[in-house]
Each structure stands twice: as C-alpha cells, then as structure tokens.
Structure 1
Amino acid sequence: MSHLKLWLIRHGETEINCGRWSDKPAETCLTPLGKEQAQKAAQKIIEPPDLLIKSPLIRAKQTADFILNQWPNTLIDTWPIEEFIYLSPSRLHNLSKLAKRRDVEEYWQKNDPYYCDGKDAESFADFLKRVKQFHHQIIQQQGFVIVIGHGQFLKAFQFGLSHGFNVSPEWMSLFRQTETANPLKNGEIVRLNLSNLLDFKSLNQS
C-alpha cells in the first residue's frame, strides 16, 4: 500500500476569531495576524506537496495561497471540509453576545446529534458524516498531502481516528470535551503518517 504523509493545517486567525460577529461566517477573512500565521505555516513546508486540499471557505483559500506562493506547481483541490455551523447565523443575528453564548451552551448541553438549528445550520450527525467521508477519501491518497481546514472539523477527524466515526450522543459529548480542552490553534500544523488504512499515528504538532 502506498505511503501517505498528511499535514493538517488550521487556517490563520480571522475576524470572527477576534470576536467580531458575522451572519455570514463563510465570508470572514484573515486578519493581519492570521496572514502572519499562514505565512509561518507555509515556511515550514520544505518540500513540494503532491496535493493541497482546502476547504471552500475564503479563510482556507487565503491560507492556502501562502503555500501556493511558495510551491506554485502544487496540485490543488477543494473538498467539502468547511467548518461546522451548528447554530443558525440568521437566527442569532439580533441576539446579544450574552444570548449567543447562552445558545451555544444550551446546544452542547442538549447533546442531540440530530438537532438542526435552521436552514443555514448543520446537525452534528451531518457534520460527522462529512468528517467520515473525508476520512474515506483521504486514506486513498498517497504522497505528501496538505489539508487546509478548520478547527472543529480537523479535531473531529483526529478524534474519529481513535473513536470511530459513528454518530452517537456519547461521541458528541466526548468530542466537545476534547475539542474545548485542547482546541487546534490558528495556523497550527498536525503531522500524521498513514502507513495503512488502520494505522494512523500522530508524529508531532507544531
């Protein structure tokens, strides 16, 4: 079986990461610090990637551009690995910051993977289905592959490597505890080495 070296990179800091609310989170852009983080991540790539996979969101494209500036001949593809939007941005639009925070807490306390908050939101079950599909597709790749994605999505992928990808309230609860205790930082790189379909080992993080 072919060897896969996989790097997962979270996009650089965005306006939303700074606490600015947006009812169009897919359109948020990198801040000056986020661009610095993306540049530093790109500088750690000292060999040409065989494939660069990015989320369709603007912040992932902006982060990927720093890598493409360094390795312009890299093959690039867009996969449906956008971030998990579990509360409806349009519903939250007129709520206070305190009310938004309360809704976030209530969502995770409810712990219902099949609940969907609106047409512009996604259930946890559908989110995990995308993560599972990503796992199915990524293990078929070979060579040096870089993925530019989002904190919760990439964390769910890592969590699934040791806990499986079958949705349940227990999975959802444990994931939330793990993700909030150790979130992926903006610009952080997770290096994974896949030698076969079942043997994923985390080499190191930077």
Structure 2
Amino acid sequence: MRFPKIWLLRHGQTEWNAERRIQGQLESPLTPLGVQHARRQAALMAPVMAQSPACYASPLGRAQQTADIALGGAPFVTDPRLAEAFAGDFQGMTLDEVAAQYPQVHGNNPRNLDLFCEAPGGEGYDSFHGRILDFMQSLTGPSVVVAHGLLGQVMRGIVCGLSRDRMAALPNGQGCVYVLENVAETVLE
C-alpha cells in the first residue's frame, strides 16, 4: 500500500513520560526538555514548512503544544483519529503499578504497544490500527503529522509493511522527525 510522503513528529517529553506513567488519552504537559524537543523539531522542519504542506495533529494537549512550536506557528488540522491509543484501566498508572496490579498482562506484553492494547477496558490493537489506517488513506498529498509514540510505531509500521511485533520494537524518539516515503523511513535528528 502506498501513501503520500509523511513527516511524523512525536510530541516532546511530558511530565508523565518522565515518571513512566501511562498517558493514553489523558493529559500531561510538556516538560522543559519536551519544549526543547519541539524546538529541535522546529529547526528540522523549517525547510519542509516553507513548502506549506498539509499539517495534522492529535487533539491531545501534548501534541497540540508540540505542533504549535514545531510547525513554527503554521496552521494545522486537529484530527481525532491521531489520538494516542486508549489504554483503559492502565491510564494514569505507572508501568511499575501495572506490573504489580496486572502481573500476567504485564508479563505477557513486554512492549508498550502490546501492553497498552491489552489494557482492560482499552481500545485494543485492531481498533487502534484501523483508525490510523483510515487517517492515512484519507491523505491526498505530502503531510506533516504531530502525534504520539505508539500511534507513530503503528503508522511507521504500516508504511514500511512491518508485522505488529516489529512495529512494537520500533524506537520512539522525541525531538526527531520520521520521514515516511516509498515503503521506508528515514530519521531527521
């Protein structure tokens, strides 16, 4: 499956990222380091933004805050399909708390993508993958997307033709830009 070129930005570090706390669709503001991540993305994106690409962002505050900085004030469309995976009962818990309270689920899912998608009361992988693919299929030209780590793993995996297991193993960098084009990704740092 082919898609238009996508520049994918994960939001900068948040307070809950620093605490190893599961955000899912809950809110947590960027840390000072997270603001630096977004500023680094702004420098990387300046030549791209000069071309006036279509820009999209998750509705969640951390992605909105990152988009405001990283896109240099350019307008963007907020799309609910770009929200992070809904992690059900795990939202607001630290990874250590999940391990203590849900040892079997935690033990069977060592990677965050799988863990979040197996959360009791959560969205689940199939629904999450489906809405990301739906968004990607709606793109009509080169696009900038500001979103989240797990969403980014799935989007990057779809473009590159990866299995779910390989998606879950992808790195989740902050302060970089993933360029997705021609069934491959490159990273601008």
Q: For the superposition of Structure 1 and Structure 2, which TM-score range results when normalised by the shorter chain?
A: 0.7 to 0.9
**Is 2:186 aligned against 1:186?**
no
Distance 1:152 1:24 in 2: 9
Q: How many residues align?
A: 179
**Is 2:155 aligned against 1:154?**
no
Distance 1:54 1:44 in 2: 17
Paired residue type of 1:78 = T
Whether the 8 Å CA contact 2:84–2:148 is kept in 1: the answer is yes
Largest Rg, 1 or 2: 1
With over 3 angstroms needed to count, the CA separation of the structure-2 counterparts of 1:58 and 1:4, relative to structure 1, is: same
Whether the 8 Å CA contact 1:10–1:186 is kept in 2: the answer is yes
Whether the 8 Å CA contact 1:26–1:58 is kept in 2: the answer is no
1:19: which partner in 2?
19
Q: CA deviation at 1:34?
A: 0.3
**Is 2:109 aligned against 1:108?**
yes
Cα distance per residue 1:19-73 (max 9 Å; x no partner)? 16477852111001000110111122223332221011100001011135x3x4x
Counting only pairs closer than 5 Å after superposition, residues 81-96 of structure 1 correspond to structure 2 as 81-89=82-90, 96=97
**Is 2:188 aligned against 1:205?**
yes
Paired residue type of 1:205 = L
User: What is the SS of the residue equivalent to 1:192?
Assistant: strand
User: What is the SS of the residue equivalent to 1:27?
Assistant: coil
Moved over 4 A (4+): 22-25, 90-93
Distance 2:37 2:92 in 1: 32
Cα distance per residue 1:98-134 (max 9 Å; x no partner)? 415736524527x79x96611xx21111111112112
1:132: which partner in 2?
133
* TM-score (structure 2 length as normaliser): 0.77
With over 3 angstroms needed to count, the CA separation of the structure-2 counterparts of 1:97 and 1:202, relative to structure 1, is: closer
Structure 1: gaps spanning 5 or more residues: 165-170, 194-198
User: What is the SS of the residue equivalent to 1:28?
Assistant: coil
With over 3 angstroms needed to count, the CA separation of the structure-2 counterparts of 1:131 and 1:24, relative to structure 1, is: closer
Whether the 8 Å CA contact 1:27–1:57 is kept in 2: the answer is yes
Whether the 8 Å CA contact 1:6–1:192 is kept in 2: the answer is yes
Percent of paired sites with the same residue: 24
Paired residue type of 1:190 = Y
1:168: which partner in 2?
none
Structure 2: gaps spanning 5 or more residues: none
